[in-house]
Structure formats: structure tokens, C-alpha cells
Amino acid sequence: MKKIWISIGLLIMAINASGQDTATTDTTRVNLVFNGSFEEYRYCPKRVDAVGILTLVEGWYQPTRGSADYFNVCGSRECGVPTNKLGSQMPHDGDAYCGIYCSKTDYREYLQTRLRRRLHKGDSIQLSFYVSLSEESNGAVATLGGLFTKDPIYDTVRSLLLHKEYEKLTDDIQQVVATMYEPQVVNPTDIPLTDTKGWQQVSGIYVAQGGEQYITIGNFYTAELSGYTEPDSLTKLLPGAYYYIDDITVDCLNCKPPIADDMNVDSTYLTKEQPAFSVGSTFVLKDIYFEFDKSTLLQQSYFELMSLITLMNTYPNMKIEIGGHTDGKGSDSYNLRLSENRSRAVAEYLILKGISERRIQYKGYGKSQPIDTNETEEGRAKNRRVEFKILAI
């Protein structure tokens, strides 16, 4: 298992200017996408699921219920490299890659991650990634691309990802207006992505509007607008077009000085001033996500967890308790068990990343300690939380 280590200087910069970009004298530009070649992972992939959530690749996740896949040289026969259940291909970089479907109907799969920092207005951003069509596909498309957004995109569909706005008609009636997203970088329609032997590059430059911090990779167009073709060379065993994705980079071309190799830490417990850490202080981990009604950590939690790991690496004597809390729905016993399992999942992740288990305790509190009303959905959402409490420093 590969280990991920973040510079201690990150925390110092975040304390001095939380949520702001910090100047650096480093002369080397770095990728604004973390883990762009999918080399960092929790566990080796074991199978390809028809449904599911991408949970193995550090920092990457699915914005819909489509089931993107992960392949690694350490994987099983289904998920191996170069040969796997969906075809055969050597990585463009490293030992791993992901895979997504772009069907000739509405089914779609996407990959999403958070950038290392928010983009500034006027930033000249170059996106590049490589794709290889599985020889087992039924067809090929052209319009794979990347969509930059200020906020993460979530939807429960397994189809084309659409931008949805809710328009209130009356007090009791509202309608949904759905439009296609327009990715800022997209491969031209007249250049189909048909290479099954090697890798084709998708690349383009985008001038940021300011505030963008998420990128989603996939096909945002219907089949009719995607340049869909069915080359004779394909075996046509798989429905639609299946693409391996690798080596994703996002580079700011006009940032001076170039961006430093750090993660943006935007956490509630890191403020512009030196935080008054003291024994007994409790902080809410604001971006921790689990599968619905389960204790499986989702990759959307990655950046918040890494900022906590950075904090603990900066304060090597700090000991903490991870506390899990639920809303008021459900029985006391069920909520207590769920909250304990979720707090344990967070503690196990910290230990997996090198924090000594002697420094971490975990406890489930169920619904016994609400911080807001359980009478509204907003209040219940606040009550469903994971906190850490400082036991020693």
C-alpha cells in the first residue's frame, strides 16, 4: 500500500491564510489535480461491479451512480493491468488507470475530484488527460472532456449528467429545468477517440472565471452529439464505448510564481489566526461522507481527512478522540451502532495513513448530543457529523 505524506509547511500556510492561495518561490509547476495517474489507493481492486461507488482511488469519486472502474497491477484478474475484464492496455503512466463507459444510449460514467486550490479569475488553465478505447467496445465517441465547477456535482442518476435548476411555480409545485453541461475542455467531434493500441491525448486551455475548485471527467453529450462511430476493428462485446483514463493534469500556465506543491486546506478548525488548540477542544470535520446508512467512507472525505492528518503530523504529541453523531431518526441502539462504526472507520483511515493508533480513540454517541433541531432536514444534517476532540497536545 502506498503512503501519502503532505508537507508540514502546508498547515503553517493554511494557518496564516486559510482558504487563500499562498505565494511560493518554487520554480516548478505542479499538477493541480492530486493523484492524476491513480497511483494512490486504499486497497487493491478485486472486482468490477455493475453498480457501486468508486471508493478505492484516493481523492477521486463518482458524481453519479454510474460505476466507474479501477485497474491496478496489484488487482485481481478482473481488475488487473494490463489485462482485465474490460480489455487489455498498459498504463500511460505508472501502474494504474480508471475506466468509464460512454454508451450509445443515455448511460454514462464520470470521474470527479477537487483541485488543490481554487482557481483565480484569469488563470490560464491547461487540462490534459489520456484515453484508450477498449478493443471490446461496441463503438467510440469523440467528445470526452473536462468540466470545471465551483461546487461538486452530485446526482443519483446513471445517465447523462445534466445541470438541473428547480423553478418554483406555486407554493406546492416546482418544476425541474435540465440542460446539458458545457465542458470547458472537450475533444473535437471530428476526431473520434478510436485508438485501442495506444493512448490519445485530450487537451485544451480554459481561462478561469474564478472560484472553480472541482473537475469532472467524462462525456457530457448525447450520442447524436458525441461523434459516435462503430469501427470494424472492435469486437463489440461491450455495450457502447469503454475508455481507460490515465495521467490527468491541470496546470496553471500564467500563475506567477508557479503553484507550490501543496494541498489547499480549507477546514473549519484552521483559521487565519493561530488556532487556540487546547485539551478538550472539539472540532467538526465538515466534509466527511459515508455511503447511505453505512459506515463506508467515501472519497469525497479525502481532503478533510488529509488536513486532519497534517494537523496531527504538525503536533506529534496530539491525541484525539473521533466522535460519531447521528440525527434523531431511528432507534437509540441503531444510531449508537452506526455512529460508532463511522467513527471507527475514520480512526482506521488515520491509522492506515501512518498515525499511531496510540494517539486515536473513537466513540459513537448516536443521537444523544444534537447541535441543532431534529425537526428540520437542515438541522438533522448538522446533527449527522463526525468530530474530533483533543485529548492531549
CA-to-CA dists, residue 40 to 37, 63, 167, 317, angstroms: 8, 20, 41, 27
Q: What is the pLDDT of residue 257?
A: 63
Residue in 2, 3, 28, 1 with CA at minimum distance from that of residue 262: 28
Residues in contact with 349: Cβ distance below 8 Å, sequence separation at least 6, in sequence order? 297, 305
Q: What is the pLDDT of residue 258?
A: 57
Strands 319-325 and 360-364: parallel
Q: What is the pLDDT of residue 71?
A: 96
Interior/surface letters 252-271, b for 16+ CB within 10 angstroms, e for the rest: beebeebbbebbbbbbebbe
In this prediction the pTM is 0.81
Q: Per-block average pLDDT, block size 10, for the chain (393 residues)?
A: 32 34 48 94 86 79 91 95 96 96 89 93 96 96 97 90 78 79 95 96 97 96 92 92 97 76 44 64 88 85 88 91 93 93 94 94 94 89 92 91
Query: pLDDT tens digits, residue range 81-135?
Result: 999 999 999 999 999 999 999 988 889 999 999 998 899 999 999 999 999 999 9
The Cα–Cα gap between 24 and 255 comes to 11
CA-to-CA dists, residue 320 to 12, 299, 301, 340, 386, angstroms: 20, 22, 18, 15, 13
Half-sphere exposure of 201 (CA within 13 A, CB side): 8
Query: pLDDT tens digits, residue range 288-333?
Result: 988 888 888 888 888 889 889 988 998 899 999 999 999 999 899 9
The Cα–Cα gap between 96 and 343 comes to 30
Q: Which domains are present in the chain?
A: 25-252 (2.60.120.260), 282-392 (3.30.1330.60)
Instruction: Give residue 382's region: left, alpha or beta (phi > 0; psi -120 to 50).
Output: alpha
